[in-house]
Amino acid sequence: MSEVIHTIEQMKEFSKKAILAQKSIGFVPTMGYLHEGHLSLIQKARSQNDIVVVSIFVNPLQFAPNEDFNTYPRDFEKDRILCEQNGVDVIFYPGYEEMYPQSYQTYVEVSFLSKPLEGKSRPTHFKGVTTIVLKLFNIIKPTRAYFGKKDAQQLIIIKKMVEDLNLDVEIVPCEIKRDADGLALSSRNVYLNAKERSQAICLKKALDKAKELIDAKIYDSQTIIQNMKNVINSYDLARIDYISINSTDCLSELKEVVLGKTLISLAVFFGKTRLIDNMWI
Ligand code: AMP
């Protein structure tokens, strides 16, 4: 049975006891509506720790007013069952008032890394992410925390926050899980209608094109990006937000791909639905 905890006080009490008993805590932060991508993080946490805690919290702070906070898919009962089936010990499921009481006023921001890529389209997003993740780390006190490479910039930013603020948690990166046709799993994929869903594979197709060029020793970023654009533009419902080639350490734009140090990432709209994907070279 997964225990469901709603309050910060009870969650802290649980972690305190676990730490006193010298148990390691693996933590998987999520916004719920769990899919195989989330489950792969949970399974990794399960294999590496004595205790697994999953948080489910659709964090209002990381959504801009024009974004999908209200419509973001939620299904706690299904999530609870999936957690149970995957050996989760505790589901931390706090309410909004619990995490952000009316008097709330403290934020944490990883300044430069939060600006490019996703930060350009979503200027307040990562401040919301780092604030909630730091709060969750302080409440749960995990030994290890699991983050998907699907949200590459988020992973890089969280690692930087942990380094800069000297947090005692190991950040474990996890591979991207995909549907059979290559579309990266995401809770937001449910927004896609059938035609959009069939075209949503263009993100992976564009990344495959980039990989093909790099394998042929073509490293020029502009050439790679132009080829990726051509792939996406051959799908009539897709609208490119950005395609970018950046260094994995400081996220600066690269003129040329550097093997082992490059992130190729893109965001594409299908109607109002914004999908992201990436590849670590
Ligand atoms: P979310 O619920 O979207 O905030 O995601 C929670 C965690 O699951 C984040 O660390 C994500 O990067 C990770 N995640 C989401 N989708 C995938 C995926 N397709 N493969 C691997 N990890 C994922």
Instruction: Output the CA torsion 224→262→238→234 (10° steps).
Output: 20
84 contacts: CB under 8 Å, gap ≥ 6: 1, 2
Q: How far apart are CA 277 and CA 176, in angstroms?
A: 9
Q: Which of 6, 35, 38, 125 is catalytic?
A: 38
**CA 19 to ligand 1 centroid distance, Å:** 26
Q: What is the pLDDT of residue 184?
A: 98
Residues 178, 179, 183, 184: is their CA dihedral positive or negative? negative
Contact 108, 266 (CB under 8 A): no
Nearest CA to ligand 1 atom 6: 30
Q: Give one word for 49, left, alpha or beta, with left for phi > 0 and alpha for psi -120 to 50.
A: beta
- Cα separation, 223 vs 219, in Å, equals 8
Residue 6 annotated to the active site:
no
Q: What is the pLDDT of residues 121-136, one digit of tens each?
A: 999 999 999 999 999 9
pLDDT tens per residue across span 177-224: 999 999 999 999 999 999 999 999 999 999 999 999 999 999 999 999
Decide if 62 contacts 128 (C-beta within 8 A): yes
pLDDT at 241: 98
Please tell me the distance between residue 217's alpha carbon and the centre of ligand 1 in angstroms.
31
CA of 276 relative to ligand 1 center, distance in Å: 11
**How many angstroms separate the CA atoms of 143 and 162, rounded?**
12
Residue 169's pLDDT is what? 98
DSSP string, 169-235: -EEEEEPPPB-TTSPBP-GGGGG--HHHHHHTTHHHHHHHHHHHHHHTT--BHHHHHHHHHHHHHTS
Q: Report the pLDDT value the prediction gives residue 118, as an integer from 0 to 100.
A: 98
| Residue with CA closest to ligand 1 atom 5 | 30
Q: What is the pLDDT at residue 81?
A: 98
**CA 222 / ligand 1 centre spacing (Å):** 29
Which of 52, 75, 151 for mutating ligand 1's site (highest number of atoms within 8 Å of CB)? 151
First-to-last alpha carbon distance for the chain, in angstroms, is 40
Token pair, residue 30, equals 């999520």
Distance between CA 161 and CA 116 in Å, rounded? 16
Please state the atom number of ligand 1 nearest to the C-alpha of residue 31.
2
**Would you state the pLDDT for residue 56?**
98
Positive/negative CA dihedral, 144, 262, 109, 42: negative
CB-based pocket (< 6 A), ligand 1:
30-31, 37-38, 40-41, 147-148, 150-151, 174, 176-177, 184-187
The pLDDT value recorded for residue 92 is: 99
The confidence score (pLDDT) of residue 279 equals 98
Q: What is the pLDDT of residues 136-147, one digit of tens each?
A: 999 999 999 999
Full pLDDT tens readout for the chain, 281 residues: 999 999 999 999 999 999 999 999 999 999 999 999 999 999 999 999 999 999 999 999 999 999 999 999 999 999 999 999 999 999 999 999 999 999 999 999 999 999 999 999 999 999 999 999 999 999 999 999 999 999 999 999 999 999 999 999 999 999 999 999 999 999 999 999 999 999 999 999 999 999 999 999 999 999 999 999 999 999 999 999 999 999 999 999 999 999 999 999 999 999 999 999 999 99
Type of residue numbered 108: V
Query: Which ligand 1 atom is at minimum distance from the Cα of 150?
Result: 12
